[in-house]
Amino acid sequence: MERLTIEPTDVSPNVIFDLTNNNFVISGRSVVTEVDSFYSPLINWLEVAQGRIDKRVDFVFDLEYFNIFSSKRILFILYRLADMRKSGVDVNVIWHFSMDDDDMKEVGEDFACMVNLPFEFISNTLEPELI
């Protein structure tokens, strides 16, 4: 299956869906206004990939910020991952958040309650400034 890669912009996240290397990442900022045109290909890719995944999948969300429109599509992706898990795929969600951003952690916890998936929460530490 072909790898799906989307380079980040000022309004859209970096996306890597690579079945061959078992690398699934959405990172950066997502403040897209045309969410369907951005997220539909991702959700469709996951739907096609579902029958081709036969190993553990660690799906990484490392988002610094996303708007309400994007949050709904992220939830759709999580539902697709939950469907994969129901079909026998070992899916684990890794949710990154900044140490100084409690809201992003809480959103991840809310998502974890909405879908039947194991979530691992990882705090991104800030590099100390040199004085």
Q: Which residues of the chain have pLDDT under 70?
A: 126-131
Residue in the block written with tokens 């994007």? 70
Q: How many CB atoms lie within 10 A of CB 17?
A: 20
pLDDT at residue 127, rounded to an integer: 53
pLDDT at residue 129, rounded to an integer: 47
pLDDT at residue 126, rounded to an integer: 56
Ranges of each domain in the chain: 4-124
Buried b (16+ CB within 10 A) or exposed e, 27-54: bbbbbbeebeebbeebeebbeebbeebe
pLDDT at residue 102, rounded to an integer: 85
CATH no., domain 4-124: 3.30.750
pLDDT at residue 128, rounded to an integer: 47
Amino acid letter for position 67: N
Please give the structure tokens belonging to residue 128.
């100390």
Residue in the block written with tokens 């992706």? 77
pLDDT at residue 52, rounded to an integer: 87
Q: Name the nearest CA neighbour of 26 among 41, 3, 42, 48.
A: 42
Q: What pTM was computed for the model?
A: 0.91
Q: H or E segment at 14?
A: strand 14-18
Q: Name the nearest CA neighbour of 72 among 36, 98, 99, 47.
A: 36
